[in-house]
Amino acid sequence: MASKIPRVVFKNGASIPMLGLGTWNSPPGQVAQAVKNAIEVGYRYIDCAHIYENEHEVGEGIAAKITHGNVKRDELFITSKLWNTYHQPDKVLGALLVTLRNLRLEYLDLYLIHWPMAYREGDDLFPLRPDGKRVHFSDVDYIDTWGAMERLVEAGLVRNIGLSNFNSRQVQRVLDVAIISPATNQIECHPYLHQAELTEFCHGKRIIVTAYSPLGSPARPSAKQTDPILMEDPVVQKLALKHAKSAAQVLIRYQIQLGHVVIPKSVNRGRIVSNADVFEFSLDADDMQQLAGLERGGRTCPESFSFGHPHHPFEGELRKARR
């Protein structure tokens, strides 16, 4: 079945579907089926990561759909992310090979550096200090990691490479040394956290913004603990009523109209279907403005285990907001 999901073009001419399926917190026993459901209804982009510890099952879902002839490998767009304990340049290839084995793939369409901070290398994905609150840092610079990512493209193991959770200064440092420019910066993005300056910066450099937690990640508290649930916000609810759509559809459509790629997560078939049914209505200029007015610095993914790390991308901003 052909997919109705439009694609956007990276600076290098490759393209990515504007909507993909998130898989963080998609539990074992459910995620393979979620991936199969998503592919059946036209999703082609699946967003994965080693740290989600479910790539093995995601791979099962992908393999089943390819084997049954529902989709061809080259119609899919599979993204994964290099975890923080594998930033040392000589660890990057090994980390990718584990991901490829788990996903049962020969190549990835996109591989991202998940965070700019490196953690102490080893088998423990969160190597905690004795206080149990913060991780052991490693002093690898993400610039050196980027060089190793470029070599994966040269080796034909990944088609595109990019960043995730990098601030604009960090993106610029990568651009300053890059032979291959980052295709995307995957960042938290929704009406409570627009990241307006960072998205403008990325667009200026022809780096596509991928919006994660576009529904405000309702199952988790925000970093400030005091933000309301985005999908229950009266403005979002009013616009849902106006367009006879769900709150989730309004929020997903909003990211698309901002020109972002968007990756809502669900393991529920009905929601997987409805979250992709966002290409036959539009928000008008007034709707867009109302959603833009909801900004409140409502970050849900602060990676607070690594506060104090010299490469933490937004610790300063969070501390200022808490004062």
Ligand X SMILES: NC(=O)C1=CN([C@@H]2O[C@H](COP(=O)(O)OP(=O)(O)OC[C@H]3O[C@@H](n4cnc5c(N)ncnc54)[C@H](OP(=O)(O)O)[C@@H]3O)[C@@H](O)[C@H]2O)C=CC1
Ligand Y SMILES: O=C1CO[C@H](CO)[C@@H](O)[C@@H]1O
Place of tokens 């490469």: 311
C-alpha to C-alpha distance for 297 and 2, rounded to whole angstroms: 39
Q: Does 157 bind ligand Y (CB under 6 A)?
A: no
Q: Please provide residue 315's backbone torsions phi and psi, each rounded to the nearest 5 degrees.
A: -60, -40
Q: Does 24 bind ligand Y (CB under 6 A)?
A: yes
Binding partner selected for residue 182 from ligand X, ligand Y, none, CB under the kind-specific 5 to 8 Å limit: none
Cα dihedral across residues 69, 53, 185, 97: positive or negative: negative
**According to CB under 6 A, which residues from 73 to 132 bind ligand X?**
114
Q: Does 51 bind ligand Y (CB under 6 A)?
A: yes
**According to CB under 6 A, which residues from 159 to 188 bind ligand X?**
164-165, 186
Q: Does 22 bind ligand X (CB under 6 A)?
A: yes
Stretch touching ligand X by CB under 6 A, among 8-16, 21-29, 83-91, 137-145? 21-29
254 has catalytic annotation: no
Please answer whether residues 203 and 259 qualify as being in contact, where contact means their C-beta atoms are separated by less than 8 angstroms.
Answer: yes
Please answer whether residues 36 and 76 qualify as being in contact, where contact means their C-beta atoms are separated by less than 8 angstroms.
Answer: no
Q: Does 274 bind ligand X (CB under 6 A)?
A: yes
Binding partner selected for residue 51 from ligand X, ligand Y, none, CB under the kind-specific 5 to 8 Å limit: ligand Y
**Number of residues this chain uses to bind ligand Y (CB under 6 A):** 5
Q: Which of 62, 74, 158 is nearest to 112 (CA)?
A: 158
- Shortest reach from residue 80's CB to ligand Y, in Å: 11
Query: Which residue numbers belong to the known binding site for substrate?
Result: 114
Provide the binding-site residues for ligand Y, judged by CB under 6 A: 24, 49, 51, 301, 303
Provide the binding-site residues for ligand X, judged by CB under 6 A: 22-25, 47, 114, 164-165, 186, 212-219, 246, 248, 263-268, 271, 274-275, 301
Which residues are designated catalytic?
52
Query: Which residue numbers belong to the known binding site?
Result: 114
